[in-house]
Each structure stands twice: as structure tokens, then as C-alpha cells.
């Protein structure tokens, strides 16, 4: 099911007067508003193919119905998101949950929806039915060379799928680790993992990147072999210039200063990209900006400052991806909220008066420094984000139009209530 331009135009017509009133108020006192709107139009967030159905926990899963049954329907669902906000212009596939059967057909379908293929994701954290050797005790860290070999071959297969689709990067997240003291030799686990990643690295096409995603805990609960930014940076530095770290916001220990981690990885030229979500306790995979919006703003403030310092292009030079799981909300509404929160944090970060902040920092004027940051954070940039959508041909209020058009209802009538999308 598609959303056609007339539905969007009619929706925008209803909201235009109120939007223009709000926009004119903001534009009056924001000198670089037009420049910010263009940056928002250019900023695209990749949608995870594994987050278009209802997520669950070990305690239960409450399906909402109308979930995509195959890769084609997942691309169509992301097409709906992109039609509504024109900021979701890429899909990130997870193998083997989304193995494309016909590359040309899948590329053509994605193109029809204006979607590119972002990072490919490998999976050596589950045993597949036809798999020879188990990953119960890890994959690339495994004491058995044959298991490590199997994991390397899987990642090389994932690269091959990505090359066929036009993707330019591979994300490797390893669940590897241990749950009890004494279970693992940390040094050997690191060296086995590095040796295995090196074999995958050598299979990367010249213009590809490899993202090494770290995580503090789960599914292992004593040690994780790529457990924090330092370990990920160690791997990426030893692997070579095509290897980078990937920051999943939910993969940190409580109260970690993620914006400082981002600033340092960017300074080292080893920050590859993000998995945006939010959390209060562990890897909760909640809606981006729903729990700690100020942290998200501070992260984008470091990104803007650090990327400008390196002359990097905001929209293109880092991997912007969402990684979430929807236990309670409609997956598409949840993703629309996440994209909105990311664009709001980015717009606020673009508002920071960098000269005034540097002046305050140079003078150790702590109060002034905070005032400069919070002036930007406390600015309502939603009219700018809405104006960016309007200029890009999207809906002024995506969730309102999603509901007015009863999109979920139509998907349920088309697909039924019991369909289950592959993924988490
Ligand atoms: C691990 C992770 C990783 C994905 C998975 C779906 O927690 O963040 O990025 O492979 O979620
Ligand atoms: Mn992730």
C-alpha cells in the first residue's frame, strides 16, 4: 500500500496556516534558519529491517498485526515512512533474516520507494537450522577454529549480498563473551576475534567500511569480547583504515558519558556510525529521545562540533541508523517518532552558538557555557523540522496522517493480524 502525493498535499493544506504561523515566529529570531532547514532535508536516517514488526521479551510478545511477511513488504513499509517524512531514505538489512532472493527485483523495489541500502548486518549470535557448528560459546572468539571459520564465511557471504544491492558497509555485532568467571581466556578471545575480523576485513571491497559494534552486556552477563568503546577502537585501529567503531546508544553501562565517547572517537577519525534508540536501564531499544532527550542533544552537539572540525559532511560521512524494538507501540509510529527526535536534536545542535561556547570555555565561565547550550536545547525547532518535510514533499504531521489514513488498519486487512516479521 502506498501513500500518494494528493493525500499528503490535502493533509498539508489543512495544517499549512498553523505551520506558517509557528515557522514565522521561529524564523524571526533564528538567523540561520534557512540553512538549518536545508541540512534537515539532506539528513537521512536508515531504518532497520528487523524493527518493522512487534518486538518482545522473554516474558512475552504482543503482536499488533499487519506485520511485513517478507523483504518486499519490509521495503514497502519503509517506503511508507519515507513518504511521510522524506527522512528515512535507507534500509539496513540483517542476514539471514532478510536474504534477498532476486537482487534486481529488490533493488528496483527499493528504488521505487526512493530507498538506498545502508549497512549490512551479519548474525553469528543465533544458530540457523542448517548450521553445522553452534555459536553457543561464541563465534569469532570461539576456542574451535572451525567455528571461527564458519563465522568468517558468514560475514563474507553478507558482504556479497551487500555488493549486489549497492550497500557500502558491514556492521559486525558479536554477542561473544562469557557469563561466569573462569569461563574465558580474555586474551585468547580477543586475539581469536581480531584474527577472524581481519579475515573479514580482507574480503571488504575497497570502497566499503566495517563497523565494529560494541556492547557492555547481554546475552553474556560476565564479559563481552567487544564490550566497550575502548575495545572496539582497539579492534578498529588494528584492522585498518576501513574499520570504524559503531555506537549503539543502548550498549553502555549506566551513566556512561556517551557524548564524550563520541567526541573522542570522532577526534581519532574512528567513529563510523550510530544505532539510535533510548534506554533507562539496559539495552532497552526504546524510541530515540523518549527517555534522555538532553543526552541525544549533547551527542549531536559533539557531532556537529567534531565533524565541522574535521570538515566532514553531516549527511554523508557517518552511518545514521536506528536500532530499536517495539514491544508496545505500532512499529511504524515508533520509527516516525525516532526519526523526528533525531532531526530535532540535530537542528538544536546546529543552533549552538559555537563562538560563544568556545569563549565561555576559554574563560572557564561554566554558567555561560551551560546557558549557551541550553539556549539551543530549549529552542522549539519543530517548525523547522516540519518545514524541511514540507520542502521535501512529505507530511507536516506524519503520525497524524498515518492515523488519518488508517495505514495500520489497511496493512492488517492486507496481511492479517497474525503475520510475524523476521527480526527481534
Ligand atoms: C545488538 C544489536 C545489534 C543488532 C541487534 C539486532 O543488541 O544492537 O546491532 O544486530 O541488536
Ligand atoms: Mn545495535
**Tens digits of residue pLDDT in 252-273:** 999 999 999 999 999 999 999 9
Record the pTM.
0.97
In a domain, residue 271? The reply is yes
CA of 215 to the centre of ligand 1 (A): 9
pLDDT of 182: 98
Q: Which of 154, 93, 160 is nearest to 121 (CA)?
A: 93
Establish whether residue 285 lines the binding site of ligand 1, counting it when its CB lies within 6 angstroms of any ligand atom.
no
In a domain, residue 192? The reply is yes
**What digits encode the pLDDT tens for the residues 78-120?**
999 999 999 999 999 999 999 999 999 999 999 999 999 999 9
Establish whether residue 248 lines the binding site of ligand 1, counting it when its CB lies within 6 angstroms of any ligand atom.
yes
143 lies in which domain range? 5-415
pLDDT of 29: 87
In a domain, residue 122? The reply is yes
pLDDT of 324: 96
pLDDT of 186: 98
* CATH number, domain with residue 93: 3.20.20.150
Residue with the nearest Cα to atom 1 of ligand 1?
173
**What digits encode the pLDDT tens for the residues 162-192?**
999 999 999 999 999 999 999 999 999 999 9
What is the domain count for the chain?
Answer: 1
In eight-state DSSP terms, residue 94 is: B
CA of 305 to the centre of ligand 2 (A): 24
pLDDT of 234: 98
46-48/90-92 β-pairing: parallel
In a domain, residue 420? The reply is no
Q: Give the whole-angstrom CA distance, residue 340 versus residue 323.
A: 15
CA of 305 to the centre of ligand 1 (A): 28
pLDDT of 102: 97
3-state DSSP helix/strand/coil percent for the chain, to nearest 5? 50, 10, 40
In eight-state DSSP terms, residue 203 is: T
Please tell me the number of the ligand nearest to residue 172's CA. Answer: 1
pLDDT of 422: 77
In a domain, residue 421? The reply is no
Sheet containing 319-322, strands listed edge to edge, beginning at the edge strand earlier in sequence: 116-117, 90-92, 46-48, 319-322, 271-276, 243-248, 209-213, 169-173, 120-121
Q: Which residues of the chain have pLDDT under 70?
A: none
Please tell me the number of the ligand nearest to residue 125's CA. Answer: 1
In a domain, residue 49? The reply is yes
pLDDT of 376: 98
Q: Give the whole-angstrom CA distance, residue 189 versus residue 141.
A: 5
pLDDT of 142: 98
With the most atoms of ligand 1 within 8 angstroms of its CB, the residue from 49, 173, 177, 321 to mutate is: 173
With the most atoms of ligand 1 within 8 angstroms of its CB, the residue from 151, 228, 275 to mutate is: 275
pLDDT of 124: 98
Amino acid at each position: 500500500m502506498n501513500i500518494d502525493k494528493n493525500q499528503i498535499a490535502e493533509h498539508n493544506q489543512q495544517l499549512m496556516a498553523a505551520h506558517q504561523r509557528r515557522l514565522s515566529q521561529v524564523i524571526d529570531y533564528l538567523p540561520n534558519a534557512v540553512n538549518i532547514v536545508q541540512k534537515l532535508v539532506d539528513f537521512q536516517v536508515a531504518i532497520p529491517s528487523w524493527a518493522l514488526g512487534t518486538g518482545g521479551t522473554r516474558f512475552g510478545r504482543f503482536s499488533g498485526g499487519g506485520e511485513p511477511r517478507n523483504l518486499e513488504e519490509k521495503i514497502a513499509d519503509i517506503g511508507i515512512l519515507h513518504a511521510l517524512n522524506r527522512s528515512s531514505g535507507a534500509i539496513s538489512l540483517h542476514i539471514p533474516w532478510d536474504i534477498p532472493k532476486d537482487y534486481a527485483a529488490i533493488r528496483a523495489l527499493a528504488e521505487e520507494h526512493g530507498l538506498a541500502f545502508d549497512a549490512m548486518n551479519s548474525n553469528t549470535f543465533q544458530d540457523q537450522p542448517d548450521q553445522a557448528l553452534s555459536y553457543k560459546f561464541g563465534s569469532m572468539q570461539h576456542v574451535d577454529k572451525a567455528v571461527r571459520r564458519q563465522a568468517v564465511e558468514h560475514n563474507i557471504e553478507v558482504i556479497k549480498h551487500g555488493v549486489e544491492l549497492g550497500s557500502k558497509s558491514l556492521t559486525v555485532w558479536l554477542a561473544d563473551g562469557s557469563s561466569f568467571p573462569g569461563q574465558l581466556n580474555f586474551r585468547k578471545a580477543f586475539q581469536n576475534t581480531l584474527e577472524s575480523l581481519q579475515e573479514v576485513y580482507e574480503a571488504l571491497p575497497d570502497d566499503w567500511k566495517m563497523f565494529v559494534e560494541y556492547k557492555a552486556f547481554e546475552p553474556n552477563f560476565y564479559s563481552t569480547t567487544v564490550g566497550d568503546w575502548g575495545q572496539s577502537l582497539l579492534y578498529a585501529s588494528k584492522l585498518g583504515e576501513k574499520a570504524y567503531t559503531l555506537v549503539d546508544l543502548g550498549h553502555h553501562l549506566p551513566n556512561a558519558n556517551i557524548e564524550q565517547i563520541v567526541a573522542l572517537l570522532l577526534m581519532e577519525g574512528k567513529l563510523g556510525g550510530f544505532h539510535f534508540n533510548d534506554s533507562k536501564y539496559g539495552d532497552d531499544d526504546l524510541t530515540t529521545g523518549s527517555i534522555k532527550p538532553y543526552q541525544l542533544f549533547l551527542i549531536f552537539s559533539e557531532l556537529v562540533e567534531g565533524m565541522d572540525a574535521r570538515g566532514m559532511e553531516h549527511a554523508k560521512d557517518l552511518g545514521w541508523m536506528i536500532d530499536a524494538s517495539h514491544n508496545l507501540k505500532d512499529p511504524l509510529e515508533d520509527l516516525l517518532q525516532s526519526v523526528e527526535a533525531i532531526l530535532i536534536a540535530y537542528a538544536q545542535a546546529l543552533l549552538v552558538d559555537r563562538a560563544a561556547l568556545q569563549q565561555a570555555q576559554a574563560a572557564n565561565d561554566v554558567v555561560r557555557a551551560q546557558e549557551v547550550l541550553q539556549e539551543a536545547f530549549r529552542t522549539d525547532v519543530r517548525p523547522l523540522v516540519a518545514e524541511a518535510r514540507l520542502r521535501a514533499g512529505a507530511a507536516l504531521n506524519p503520525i497524524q496522517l498515518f492515523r488519518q489514513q488508517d495505514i495500520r488498519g489497511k496493512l492488517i486487512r492486507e496481511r492479517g493480524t497474525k503475520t510475524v516479521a523476521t527480526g527481534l
